[in-house]
Chain A
């Protein structure tokens, strides 16, 4: 299966979906965004909780992420709704990243009600534009696929992850791009990944990326084992973060590592990359979207129902028991590797083919259900709020 089709964007990139996105820059613009799309199926609001404080140390990361999301190739047009002031940094950067972007503000339109009225016809216009576009034959090497896992268990490293690794290797061999995410789950796997780097420079950056994470955690002054592995991982039979990592890294197969990416950064070359994202699945998938992925392959042991407003997320289960229990929320069962009805290699081929069918337009379970989780990463350390003061009565 080498044929693929998608939506060609004006800058030469390709989308596998044709979403109209309404993106509030701050939480104060969310009500206008929601009101603008009410009753307009096909338009999606990317809701988040950033309040736009100008002194927020995470401001630059948030702006870059939102701009990357607006410029994702699956987005036919993004209508960005700001409050005013520096919020324009998001649409400005999104345009530089090749996005088709409109920008409106509550300040110019004098409040939520009038802003919603002004956004709505622009959404309708974007939906007409989307409906008028046809899929065209798309080169396989234009595809960028995120490699994600969530709710891992003891079988993740034995079934779904190595099978996804086979699929990733096939994609990379065909000239496509795959991006391995979730740095906390690569702790312990850095040397084996660095040995596969295309250059000593990339190898050094892999080791540095994971060392930087370990330093950050030490700075927090807390024990990483309080959060990794999670209660669900432990119930699923995982004992340590290293065990979880060695399983998680198998999603990246055996291909050479072509580059290391910052949170939400777009790759400059094709091939396998590693992106600096947290193990928080939603923050991680949003970064993959900002980095230009059109599609995510997501392995799960405990069973995650989550999806994305921008990307089809193909869910692959590590075990047949969870798959049967959550069959409406998961697409493929890699647990069959254990019964011998599939090998890792043949399961990898099935995942590869399912990814291409998804790229062709076949909806994933998360898309059918309407899952559109969205979250922005914050890295700045903040002090706990002072206790509230109760006065009077």
Chain B
């Protein structure tokens, strides 16, 4: 059992399991520019939000997006704003920067449209990565790892938490729900690696910012989708399965690609709490 992990050290807080510039659109309309900025060093998370949201729905989206900019897997953030959106990109970039994380802003309506915003964004990605990313992995304490647990209240979830505690690995657990919409919330809470206990009727879903260890349940669907799962528990005791999951999460932290990363499942689902206007 390794007492140390290999991660990307950050100037503050725990180390990262991945080392990317986050390209974060503040609104659905900025999605194309964000996608065009994706590269070997930058990951974009186009989404359907940011326009005409209200109340707790708006607050939730803004909080989660800002939290992503502080995730240790993120070296720096480029916020792409349209300009007229409800979830103002300027405020989003300011709130990430206020937390001590590097963040820059491109506003499509100000710089002169898609082409100009793409060019400006490319320059910012390169500049931020040069300044804040691209260093080698270093030895970091195992306690730097914060595991995000996308699970219900099944015994395996408790066994994972117990095994993590034994290894001095932190765990952050989702509250009331599970599924891909929980992944950005766990990442906003600082998780670098996510373990997803996938419900029987669902298929595994990867996440753009963190490696996701997909753990199968019983049933025909997951039996058919074995190739898309990292861990298939079968009839083994939960403690043994929990050990395998923690080993796997450790290796994923150190850089081993997960099934989702290998098959290009790098989704971004943000929870919607109310209708848009």
Q: Contacts A53-B179, A230-B86, A392-B171 given: A373-B113 contact, CB under 8 Å?
A: no
Scan residues 317-340 of chain A and give those whose CB is less than 8 A from a CB of chain B: 322, 325-329
The answer, among B108, B186, B202, for a CB contact under 8 Å with A305, is B108
Residues of A contacting B228 in the complex (Cβ-Cβ under 8 angstroms): 106, 111-112
Q: Contacts A283-B276, A390-B189 given: A110-B32 contact, CB under 8 Å?
A: no
Contact B201 A382 (CB under 8 A): no
The answer, among B108, B227, B274, for a CB contact under 8 Å with A110, is B227
Q: Contacts A51-B205, A278-B52 given: A392-B114 contact, CB under 8 Å?
A: no
Residues of A contacting B248 in the complex (Cβ-Cβ under 8 angstroms): none
Residues of A contacting B186 in the complex (Cβ-Cβ under 8 angstroms): 388
Scan residues 51-66 of chain B and give those whose CB is less than 8 A from a CB of chain A: 51-56, 58, 60
Report the Cα distance A216→B51, complex, angstroms.
Answer: 18
Residues of B contacting A175 in the complex (Cβ-Cβ under 8 angstroms): none
Contact B273 A377 (CB under 8 A): no
User: Any chain B CB within 8 A of the CB of A354?
Assistant: no
The stretch from A21-29, A69-77, A135-143 touching chain B is A21-29
The answer, among A49, A111, A381, A385, for a CB contact under 8 Å with B267, is A49
Contact B176 A386 (CB under 8 A): yes
Q: Which residue of A lies closest to B268 (CB)?
A: A49
Contact B54 A28 (CB under 8 A): no
The stretch from A1-9, A30-38, A190-198, A202-210 touching chain B is A30-38
Residues of A contacting B55 in the complex (Cβ-Cβ under 8 angstroms): 220-222, 226
The stretch from A10-18, A123-131, A154-162, A231-239 touching chain B is A231-239
User: Any chain B CB within 8 A of the CB of A107?
Assistant: yes
Dominant secondary structure of chain A at its interface with chain B:
loop
Contact A30 B114 (CB under 8 A): no
Scan residues 221-255 of chain A and give those whose CB is less than 8 A from a CB of chain B: 221-222, 224, 226-228, 230-233, 235-236
Q: When A and B form their complex, what is the total count of cross-chain residue pairs whose Cβ atoms lie within 8 Å?
A: 254
Scan residues 124-180 of chain B and give those whose CB is less than 8 A from a CB of chain A: 143, 146, 161, 164-165, 168-177, 179-180
Contact B225 A375 (CB under 8 A): no
Q: Contacts A111-B224, A184-B277 given: A386-B175 contact, CB under 8 Å?
A: yes
Residues of A contacting B48 in the complex (Cβ-Cβ under 8 angstroms): 48-49, 282-283, 374-376
Contact A51 B276 (CB under 8 A): no
Q: Pick from A27, A114, A373, A376 the residue with the most CB of B within 10 Å.
A: A27
Q: Which residue of B lies closest to A52 (CB)?
A: B202
State how many angstroms separate the Cβ of B13 from the closest Cβ of chain A: 14
Q: Contacts A51-B269, A107-B224, A107-B225 given: A391-B202 contact, CB under 8 Å?
A: no
Residues of A contacting B221 in the complex (Cβ-Cβ under 8 angstroms): 83-85, 107
State how many angstroms separate the Cβ of B126 from the closest Cβ of chain A: 22
Contact A51 B179 (CB under 8 A): yes
User: Any chain A CB within 8 A of the CB of B39?
Assistant: no
The answer, among A54, A224, A325, A384, for a CB contact under 8 Å with B273, is A384
Contact A391 B173 (CB under 8 A): yes
Contact A280 B267 (CB under 8 A): no
Q: Which residue of A lies closest to B189 (CB)?
A: A388
Residues of B contacting A150 in the complex (Cβ-Cβ under 8 angstroms): 29
Report the Cα distance A345→B183, complex, angstroms.
Answer: 52
Contact A231 B84 (CB under 8 A): yes
Residues of B contacting A325 in the complex (Cβ-Cβ under 8 angstroms): 109, 112-113
Q: Contacts A371-B32, A392-B164, A393-B143 given: A31-B84 contact, CB under 8 Å?
A: no
Report the Cα distance A390→B146, complex, angstroms.
Answer: 9
State how many angstroms separate the Cβ of B14 from the closest Cβ of chain A: 10
Q: Which residue of A lies closest to B30 (CB)?
A: A305
Q: Which are the 9 A-B pairs with shortest beta-carbon distances?
A: A232-B84, A386-B175, A28-B203, A393-B170, A375-B48, A222-B55, A31-B265, A111-B227, A392-B165
21 contacts between A and B (CB under 8 A): A49-B47, A49-B180, A84-B221, A107-B224, A112-B265, A150-B29, A220-B55, A221-B55, A222-B55, A278-B276, A280-B28, A325-B109, A369-B32, A373-B32, A375-B28, A382-B273, A383-B176, A384-B56, A385-B185, A390-B189, A391-B161
Known: A151-B109, A373-B28. 17 other contacts (CB 8 A): A28-B202, A28-B203, A48-B48, A52-B202, A106-B203, A106-B224, A216-B275, A227-B58, A278-B277, A279-B277, A329-B114, A374-B48, A378-B275, A381-B273, A384-B273, A386-B176, A389-B172
